[in-house]
Amino acid sequence: MEKLNSISTVNSTVGVHESVTDKQATWKEYLAISKTGIVMSNLITAFAGLYLASHYTGTTLAADPLTALLAMLGTAFIIAGASVLNNYIDRDIDHLMERTKERPTVNGQLSGRQTLTYGLVLAILGTLFLSMTTLTAAVIGFSGLLIYVVLYSMWTKRTTTLNTIVGSFSGAVPPLIGWAAIDPGLHPIAWTLFLIMFMWQPPHFLALAMKRADEYRAAGIPMLPVVAGFAVTKRQIIWYVAALIPVSLLVADFGIIYTVSAVLLGGGWLVLGLSGLRAKDDVKWARQMFVYSLNYLTVLFVLMIVVHMI
């Protein structure tokens, strides 16, 4: 009952700010809920798909810079829109988590109406931009948005530990969008990029969930570490990292530099993961795994681009 009362108090507080923030909100608040860090990291993978598609179809991005620009803008707007709509949906629980309790959607700087409107505008603009490249790119982008907002944020995030897997589908679409903007036929390489992204996300987000287990528990979100404990979560992370290594080698024809680098990157992550079986500080280990996952993704996809420039 006390929890319900606290939520009611927060919602009432947000309601009090509705009329004020409708006039006082600044671009900084809107930028904050757009999750620019997530947008930028995903744009790297989207650009990899875009660049590789141009390479394997015998064209160049310089030959059609407008398509490249529209693809990147569309992807950025779709991802930002999904993030904003996620903020809108999670307003009732964000105040329970340390890392989200100061979001503009929680502290009254942005009203629910402003947040929803902004998220929908971004999503619509993103879809329109992508449709100006190819219809396939627009369909993939919009599908990723629906999966993240409806299947993940509105449903599985609060009901099952499988939420991480569901979210992985939407998180894996950026390279597909980039490729489809050039080649709507989607070469097998495009699907390999999607699979790499899909396999990368569970260990990345499960490590984050371990770091924030107490917060997720307080918010009633059934993340795997909360429901099954750290030991089970660590084993799941290790299995995903181990499976990612051969998946990353499905594009071994990218050359020896890529292949060796992918093995070393994946092997290093796996060694770090296995060390967690004996780790005394699980949260510290999870933090190291999380940071490594970010570096892994960035280096791997940048490397894909670089080896095709040589």
The pLDDT tens digits of the residues spanning 146-173 come to 999 999 999 999 999 999 999 999 999 9
Q: What's the rounded Cα separation, in Å, for the pair 130 and 141?
A: 8
Verify that 177 and 30 share a domain, yes or no. yes
Averaged pLDDT for residues 190-201: 97
Q: Inform me whether the pLDDT recorded for 183 exceeds 70.
A: yes
Structure tokens at 304: 């894909």
Q: Distance from CA of residue 224 to its chain's centroid?
A: 18
Report percent pLDDT > 70 for the chain. Answer: 92
Q: Inform me whether the pLDDT recorded for 21 exceeds 70.
A: no
Verify that 8 and 135 share a domain, yes or no. yes
Map residue 164 onto helix, strand or coil. Answer: helix
| Angle (CA) 103 225 272, round 5° | 100
H helical segments located in the chain: 2-24, 27-32, 36-56, 65-89, 91-94, 104-107, 112-131, 135-146, 163-171, 174-182, 188-211, 213-219, 224-228, 230-248, 256-275, 282-307
**Residue numbers of the domain that contains 157:** 1-186
Our count of domains for the chain comes to 2
Mean pLDDT of the chain: 90
Verify that 150 and 216 share a domain, yes or no. no
Verify that 58 and 75 share a domain, yes or no. yes
Verify that 194 and 171 share a domain, yes or no. no
Q: What is the pTM of this model?
A: 0.88
- Position 258, amino acid: Y
Verify that 22 and 112 share a domain, yes or no. yes
Burial per residue of 146-166, b for 16 or more beta-carbon CB atoms within 10 angstroms, e otherwise: ebbbebbbeebbbeebebbeb
- The predicted structure's pLDDT at residue 32: 85
